[in-house]
Structures are given as structure tokens and as C-alpha cells.
Copies of this chain bind each other. A is one copy, B any other.
Amino acid sequence: MADTLRIVLSDSKKEKPQANALGFGKYFTDHMFVMDYVIDKGWYDPRIIPFQNISLHPAAKVFHYGQTIFEGLKAYRTSDNRTLLFRPRKNLERLNLSNQRLCIPPVDETMVLEALKELIKIDEEWIPASEGTSLYIRPFVIATEPDLGVSPSTQYKLMIILSPVGAYYAEGVHPVKIYVENQYVRAVRGGTGAAKTAGNYASGLAAQEVAGGKGYAQVLWLDGVENKYVEEVGSMNVFFKINGEVVTPALNGSILNGVTRDSVIQLLKHLNVPVVERSISIDEVQSAYDNGVLEEAFGTGTAAVISPIGELNWRDRQMVINDGRIGEVAQQLYDQLTGIQTGRLDDPFGWTVEVK
């Protein structure tokens, strides 16, 4: 880890896509960060190099045994042309927690953050400026040892790639229809649900396909043990406003400890909105709906920030929430969070980190 950052700049620059054609994770900048690990040397040769393909042995363990983790965070361009990162330390702390669950050696968070800042400075002109756009940052670690034994790899690669992403809501924040999943399971206590690792997402694809076929945007995941308690929505954390109080499932080992989730909880407290982390069953959500006190529901995550839920379908019963419109609290959270992230509003929490 004593290695200094090596920088090799690209000879040419790619053409940048139009802001309205960005989408999510389809375009990548001119450079990327790479660092290697071998067991007797530790992490070595941190470098920023031209964006390029990776060449791997077909027996690299990541292909066979899924030993891999990732993170997702964003850089924003402010109206006065500064670059802000949102709580990057939290993502790097979680990266190391995911590493631990997957038997991957930890990285030096300070060093990786400095390298990330350097990478962003080099590709700064890729950060889009229009309303709702940002630069999505994807750090990930893959096991590269060419060996078919089922055991932790002795070789790894950490990479950071950058993708300019469009406004998640092209026409204002738009509530989505959600299908409560009661066949497939995303994660279970004792499993990898709390880690940001590939297998959790692979597992969810089939359920998403089924829900999509029925006209739903995402699924709401219930717990793997009793198939009863609410866990996450799609790849986001989930919140319900019931009779004036905001409830979100407590971190129980199978739920991701979302950075946006944590920020929303802090923001609600700051706004004096009652908020509680506890287990909440789908029956309780249904009763609240039946009693007319299910006031709002929304997902939280880096990509969408706040994703209001306009309708829940559980066992073919429809619950239309807040007449299918975004709720007051969800709108307020969205405005406040994106305001802080883009430097439009004050940041009383010290969440943003400027890249200079």
C-alpha cells in the first residue's frame, strides 16, 4: 500500500453523449482506477489508466464462485461549477464490510478515496450539468485467481469506473407500482443480504421478470424465514409513513445498510418527523392501508434518491397509496437530499465532500 498512485493518461478522448440520452450506466468516461492484490504482497500498483477491457483467465474465481463486491455513489456538478461527492467515506466503509463478508482483504479507505478524487478530477468534464444528472461512481472488487477450488482467492482486482447518468425521473418524481413477492427470496439472515455482492442481485432477476410481466416496476422483498416481514424494494431500502410516523425495517443482517437510508433517517429527525427503525410485517402495511393510515411509501437508494410507491400489490390485492401521487414527506426528502447533494441547499450534516 506504500505504492504511490501511477497515472497514465489516454491519448484520445471519447465523444460525450447528449444529456437526454444518458440513461443509467451505459456510457463510461476516458479513465479508470485499478489496483491489484496478491496474497504475499497485499494491494499494490494503484493506477489511473485509460478506460479499457480487462483480460482474465477463464478460471478466474469471480466467474465461478462469485467472490466479488461493489459500491455505488455519485459526484454532482454544482451551479457554480464545483464537484461534490456525497458521503463517500460511508461507501468505502461499507465496501470493506462487504469485503469482510466475502473473505476479500480490506482496502485502505483513505488511499482509495484520494485515488477516486484524482480520477474524478481527470475526467471532470464528464460530469453532466443538467437538472437531475450526475456522475455515477462504481468501485468493485473481483477475485482473479485462476483456480477452480472452492476457497477464497489469493488474487484480486479493485477497479473504479465512472458513468455519467441521466435524470432518473425525466418528468418529475414519478410513483411506481410495486409487486409484493411471495415466491422468490432475495436474502436470509446468515446469508449475504447485508453485503453489496453480485449474488444478491442475480437472485432477484427472476422475480423482477415476473413482476415486470405483470406491469410492476419492482418487487417488494419479504424476509426469507417467515415470508412476512418487509425487507427491501427492488434494490432500494423502503420506508412507510403510517399515521404520521415514518417506519423503516431495522438492519437485521439481511438488509443493505443504505447510505441514502441513513441520510433519510437523519434528515427526518432534523425535520422533526417521527421516524423509527423496526421490523414491519406486510400484514401491518395492509392493515394500515385498510384503516386509511398508510399515508406514504417510498424506496431510497443512490440511483433514484427517493422513489415513491404509488401502488402495492400483495396477493392480488391492490393498495393505491396517496392516490398514486408522491407524498409530502417523500417530496420534501427528495428536494432536501438532492439540494444538499448538488450544493443548492446548505449542508448542516457535513455530508458533501468537494473534489478540488
Contact = CB atoms under 8 A, between A and B. Distances in A.
B25 A201 contact: no
A170 to B, nearest CB: 15
A251 interface: no
Contact of A209 (B152, B191, B227): B152
A301 to B, nearest CB: 11
Interface stretch (A56-64, A120-128, A171-179): A56-64
Interface in A146-164: 146-152, 159, 161, 163
Interface in A184-206: 184-192, 197-206
Given A58-B159, A199-B200, A206 B138 contact: no
A28 B59 contact: yes
Contact of A66 (B68, B146, B151, B227): B68
Contacts of A58: 28, 32, 51, 53-54, 159, 161
Given A64-B138, A184-B190, A190-B184, A206 B102 contact: yes
Of A28, A184, A190, A201, the most chain B CB neighbours within 10 A belong to A190
Nearest to A138: B148
Contacts of A64: 68, 70, 138, 140, 198, 201
Nearest to A65: B201
A209 to B, nearest CB: 6
Interface in A9-55: 23-26, 28, 32, 51, 53-55
Contacts of A183: 190
A103 interface: yes
Contact of A205 (B67, B205, B234): B67
A17 to B, nearest CB: 14
Of A54, A183, A234, the most chain B CB neighbours within 10 A belong to A54
A2 interface: no
Contacts of A140: 63-64
Given A209-B152, A224-B190, A225-B224, A202 B67 contact: yes
A240 interface: no
Contacts of A187: 191
Given A62-B63, A161-B59, A225-B224, A202 B68 contact: yes
